[in-house]
Structure 1
Amino acid sequence: MTKSKPNILLIYTGGTIGMVKDADTGALKSFDFENLLVRIPELKLLDCNIDTVSFKDPIDSSNMNPKYWIQIAEIIENNYQVFDGFVVLHGSDTMSYTASALSFMLENLAKPVVFTGSQLPIGDLRTDAKENLITSIQVASLQHKGKPTIKEVCLYFEYKLYRANRTTKINAEHFQAFASLNYPDLAESGVYLKINNEYLFKPNGRKKLVVHKMLDENIALIKMFPGITKTLLQNIFNTPNLKGVIIETFGAGNCTTETWFIDMLKEKILKGIYIINITQCSGGSVIMGHYETSSMLKKIGVISGKDLTTESAISKLMYMLGLNMSSKEFKTNYQTSLRGEMT
């Protein structure tokens, strides 16, 4: 019996990777992805069938928001039974936010969803777009014994495949724009495509895909800095309908121990606002209670975000607030790794 080729759906949301330069004017214009094989004939060498779908009005990733996250999730949901893998083309600036969000929204995912993009347009002479696109499609089509090798949301950029909810954009100019500082690479592309199987997420494949579309945006992000004022924090905490606040603290989760600050957090927690503690360092983890400057946070009920990235902490908070669980369940689940997002 001849084994059929994997079917891969390419989803274009917008971003630099979908732009080509007009040869006459030099202006950038959108690329017609229906003519993908004409523009990139190398794709014919891949052992898979490729179909494409695009946002009706592709957007710059700076305009990305949860409404579009739901749109991407619905495209995957509606095509889940037909395709063996998905590649999402996305602007790099907010790619880690979207990819992290999709990892939570797609519960029981048993197929690859690979996010990629580029720093230069696909038609540029020195573009990184072609390699990122070709290898992302190849990764999405990998199978072992007729089953997908990758069964999670990931991000491919500049020869590295990362777990999506562990990534952050670290450079606006270099081709190596992303990093996963608290979790090893899932794969590396060189002469050979090396998959690090021991680091892949292993979901329960018997459960049916559940797509979560209720995301609560009533949250805030506060980055601590020396000299932060009581007035500033009061204004943030007095935001109408505020339900959760992520605080980026120093080092391993430390912050000021001034009475007004601790009392304010305690008051808001008692009123039902969830407060999450993550580190503003690029790598490492929050360990509340390790130093005296974080022990009070633990005592008053601040939730530890451990080694979550900011992007993952925000999308996880929106996702979990949308589930309407009890405060006890919320704290337990937020501090638990749901999709491999924390150690």
Structure 2
Amino acid sequence: MYSTICVHTPAKTGASILMIYTGGTLGMAYDANGQLKPFDFGQILQNLPEIDRFDFTLTVIAFDNPIDSSNVTPNHWIEWAQIIEQNYTLYDGFVILHGTDTMAYSASALSFLLKGLNKPVIFTGAQLPIGSIRTDARENMITALEIASARNERNEPQMSEVCIYFHSRLLRGNRAKKVESTQFDAFYSENYPPLAEAGISIDFRPALMRPFVTEATLQVQNHMDDRVAILKIFPGISRYVVESILNIPDLQAVVLETYGSGNAPTDTWFTECLSKAIQRGIVILNVSQCLGGTVLQGRYSTSKHLLDIGVIGGGDITTEAAITKLMYLAGSGLSKTDWQPLLTTSICGEMS
């Protein structure tokens, strides 16, 4: 359940923004035991007097029970996508306040679910609660709202995709990863440059953004299938570990996290385990453990065996985007024969 709050309605409005407050460190405070606990959205607003200076209308949807992002599930992604769909014609842009731990997963998921998106959806949050003296919450929130309301010289949205704004950088949501837990620059995108950077002014880079499509029609997929898994390769990985994952009942797909440019052990048992899984209809997507670079199956002998048995190369996709893309495809109703061309090409900017 959630409540809708009209926060700010200036006399002359330039745009209308809907902000969705889901939870996260931004909206927390320390309790008597020194633990962070969520508080209501009204307390957040008390720490943001700058809102009264905006030239756009701001409405907030605040969930009655804010969640720690560690508890986010695909059901939350569906709910948020449906909220955007229900309010799509009423607002010019959307900002989602979210915890940092799973923000990259959520941004990736919504990038797939919101097909035909031609308005900005900006995720942001904070490393410190908004009531803390040195908090990063104010700058992140204020600039995310400014970006969501920004228009270009043709009066089109400056960007029309799902993004993460954090610590002065606007990143494509399905390219970002959380890379820091103790520094303010928590997110980075190794394989795709920032779409904008905020200093004294906000420097937008239109050439890097997905193009605005006037005639685009939003279509929201209302199901994701979570019968997926991640298998991370490590030196000494045992047959028991590999088989225990690949033999999960009704498993549909696996992200195989490999070394470097897609390399993995060449042990016969390992190849056989993967091959048998593929023959049973399990889709295996090869993604590099590296922050940057790309999977090039067949470049080395330690990846050619994967190519030969039908493992799909994931290119430069992140693990966060890969697992949510598999959930999206598994929930789409498409046959698995139709998955491969979609897994090896970009649907919404998630891979090169």
TM range (shorter): over 0.9
CA contact (8 A) 1:117 1:133 kept: yes
C-alpha displacement of 1:225: 0.6
Q: 2:91 aligns with which of 83, 89, 92?
A: 83
CA distance in 2, matches of 1:300, 1:25: 54
Q: Structure 2 stretches of 5 or more lacking a match?
A: 1-10
CA distance in 1, matches of 2:270, 2:38: 49
Q: 2:272 aligns with which of 260, 263, 272?
A: 263
1:244-265 CA distance string (max 9 Å, x none): 0111000000011111111111
User: Given the alignment of the two structures, is residue 148 of structure 1 paired with residue 157 of structure 2, yes or no?
Assistant: yes
C-alpha displacement of 1:13: 0.4
Residue 3 of structure 2 aligns with which residue? none
Q: 2:187 aligns with which of 166, 178, 191?
A: 178
C-alpha displacement of 1:149: 1.3
Q: 2:23 aligns with which of 14, 24, 35?
A: 14
CA distance in 1, matches of 2:260, 2:44: 46
CA distance in 1, matches of 2:175, 2:40: 31
- Tell me whether 107-116 or 258-267 shows the greater mean CA deviation: 258-267
C-alpha displacement of 1:306: 0.6
TM-score by length of 2: 0.93
User: Given the alignment of the two structures, is residue 52 of structure 1 paired with residue 60 of structure 2, yes or no?
Assistant: yes
C-alpha displacement of 1:4: 4.2
TM-score by length of 1: 0.95
User: Given the alignment of the two structures, is residue 43 of structure 1 paired with residue 47 of structure 2, yes or no?
Assistant: no
- Tell me whether 142-151 or 225-234 shows the greater mean CA deviation: 142-151
- Structure 2 letter corresponding to 1:340: G
Residue 246 of structure 2 aligns with which residue? 237
CA distance in 2, matches of 1:327, 1:26: 49
Could you say if the C-alpha distance between residues 200 and 225 of structure 1 is closer, same or farther in structure 2, counting changes exceeding 3 Å? same
Q: 2:105 aligns with which of 87, 97, 122?
A: 97
Secondary structure of the residue aligned to 1:147 is coil
CA distance in 2, matches of 1:326, 1:25: 52
C-alpha displacement of 1:34: 4.5
Q: 1:130 aligns with which of 133, 138, 141?
A: 138
C-alpha displacement of 1:291: 0.7
Residue 258 of structure 2 aligns with which residue? 249
C-alpha displacement of 1:147: 2.0
1:260-282 CA distance string (max 9 Å, x none): 11111111111110000000011
CA RMSD of aligned residues (A): 1.7
Residue 163 of structure 1 aligns with which residue? 172
Q: 1:209 aligns with which of 204, 214, 218?
A: 218
User: Given the alignment of the two structures, is residue 218 of structure 1 paired with residue 236 of structure 2, yes or no?
Assistant: no
CA distance in 2, matches of 1:339, 1:256: 32
Runs of 4+ in 1 over 6 A off after TM superposition: 24-27
- Structure 2 letter corresponding to 1:278: V
Residue 4 of structure 2 aligns with which residue? none
- Structure 2 letter corresponding to 1:177: A
Residue 7 of structure 2 aligns with which residue? none
Q: 2:121 aligns with which of 113, 121, 127?
A: 113
C-alpha displacement of 1:296: 1.3
C-alpha displacement of 1:321: 0.8
User: Given the alignment of the two structures, is residue 338 of structure 1 paired with residue 347 of structure 2, yes or no?
Assistant: yes
CA distance in 2, matches of 1:26, 1:60: 16
- Tell me whether 172-181 or 199-208 shows the greater mean CA deviation: 199-208
Could you say if the C-alpha distance between residues 3 and 199 of structure 1 is closer, same or farther in structure 2, counting changes exceeding 3 Å? farther
C-alpha displacement of 1:74: 1.2
Secondary structure of the residue aligned to 2:20 is strand
CA contact (8 A) 2:27 2:44 kept: no
- Structure 2 letter corresponding to 1:221: I
CA contact (8 A) 1:111 1:151 kept: yes
Identity of matched residues, %? 47
CA distance in 1, matches of 2:37, 2:323: 32
Residue 323 of structure 1 aligns with which residue? 332
C-alpha displacement of 1:80: 0.5
Q: 2:78 aligns with which of 66, 70, 84?
A: 70
CA contact (8 A) 2:19 2:60 kept: yes
CA distance in 1, matches of 2:43, 2:318: 37
CA distance in 1, matches of 2:280, 2:55: 56
CA distance in 2, matches of 1:148, 1:180: 22
CA distance in 1, matches of 2:228, 2:33: 44
CA contact (8 A) 2:163 2:171 kept: yes
Q: Structure 1 stretches of 5 or more lacking a match?
A: none
